[in-house]
Amino acid sequence: MGKYVLRRFINYFILAFIATVTAYITSSSFMDPASRYRGQNPPLSEESIRSILNGHGTNPEVPVLERTWDWLTNIFLHGDFGTTVHNSPVLQEILVRAGVSLKLLLIGSIIGAILGVILGVWGAVRQYKASDQVVTYASYFIIATPTFVIGVILMIIATGFNNALGTTLIRFSGDYSANIDPGFIPWFTDQISHMLLPTLALVLMGAATYSRYQRSVMLDVLASDFIRTARSKGRTRKTALVKHGVRVALIPMSTYFAYAFGTLVAGSSMLEVVFSWNGMGQFTINSILQSDINAAAGSVLFVAVLTLMASTLSEVLYAALDPRVRI
């Protein structure tokens, strides 16, 4: 088992390395970091632009491979991922913002997955009944709606809600308020009021897709012989479904979890922008908008590590759920 895990990590290290280097090379080749400085007033001299770019290691006059090599040696020798266009170290930015993003991603994806599983099982058991149809159409509506539209719709609803209550119960700008009373309870309520909307949006997205998959897997399981066996032993339909059906139907979902995670990361990036959270999503989108090569490569590394962790988690889950693949 230990050897297996070690091999996995070596594998992941290589994959993350390839993803990040590829990101660095492509963004170095296609982004034009100089354009950001040329339009400034008063105009900067070509000389000073060049020296700024050299400082970032993003001068297009230096060959891409040479820049990549420098970038890599800095990472491996000094643990330095370069600086952003705002002259702050990329690694430090990521460390600060990662917590903000993970808060949203973890809570959103876990609640979304659980809700999706429940809705999927419920829909499968009540196949073609009104409740199943409602869940099905609602899910497709959410899947078909762009993330930022969901975010904006939620904001409009929340505004109406706040107005009706006459107090700002739900906040949708930033991930915390600046001036709150000291102590745990004020902090906690503040967190909830900020997190509610973006988390809800992410949960809706996750639950919508998960529930579709869980429903189809569950329908397969419902027709299985072992459900019949469980009932022949004396289980009622309901307890046979819960004890034997759901348990087996969860197995393929653990694989799907890894796939869906990528979509959720993309979705949460949009949500961070919509709700003005200072997270990695916003960082990634800004790095692209500002032609910030170092920041873009750093963002890709962050996503790569997250995705690989999600896939490890899904494998561990699979082995835990299915005795047939245990080693």
- Counting contacts by CB under 8 A, is residue 42 touching another protein? no
Exactly one of 248, 260, 264, 270 binds another protein (CB under 8 A); that residue is 248
Q: In degrees to the nearest 10, what's the CA dihedral of 42, 46, 50, 53?
A: 40
Q: Give yes or no for residue 237 binding another protein (CB under 8 A).
A: yes
Options 84-92, 116-124, 218-226, 275-283: segment touching another protein (CB under 8 A) = 218-226
What is the spatial distance between Cα 146 and Cα 95, in angstroms, rounded to a whole number?
Answer: 29
Task: Record the tokens describing residue 319, joined without a space.
Answer: 């082995």
Residue window 1-40: x/- pattern of binding to another protein, with contact defined by CB under 8 A = ------x---------------------------------
User: What's 323's DSSP letter?
Assistant: G
Single out the residue of 65, 226, 276, 288 in contact with another protein (rule: CB under 8 A): 226
121: β partners: none
Neighbouring residues of 199: CB distance < 8 A, sequence distance ≥ 6: 104, 107, 108, 111
> Is 133 a residue that touches another protein (CB under 8 A)?
no
Residue 143 near residue 208 (C-beta atoms within 8 A): yes
Q: Does 182 bind another protein (CB under 8 A)?
A: no
Q: Which stretch binds another protein (CB under 8 A): 63-71, 83-91, 201-209, 241-249?
A: 241-249
Q: What is the largest CA-CA distance in the chain?
A: 85
Q: How far does CA 297 lie from the centroid of its chain?
A: 17
Candidate ranges 49-57, 107-115, 159-167, 242-250; the one touching another protein (CB under 8 A): 242-250
Q: Which residues contact another protein (rule: CB under 8 A)?
A: 7, 224-226, 228-237, 243-244, 247-248, 251, 321-324
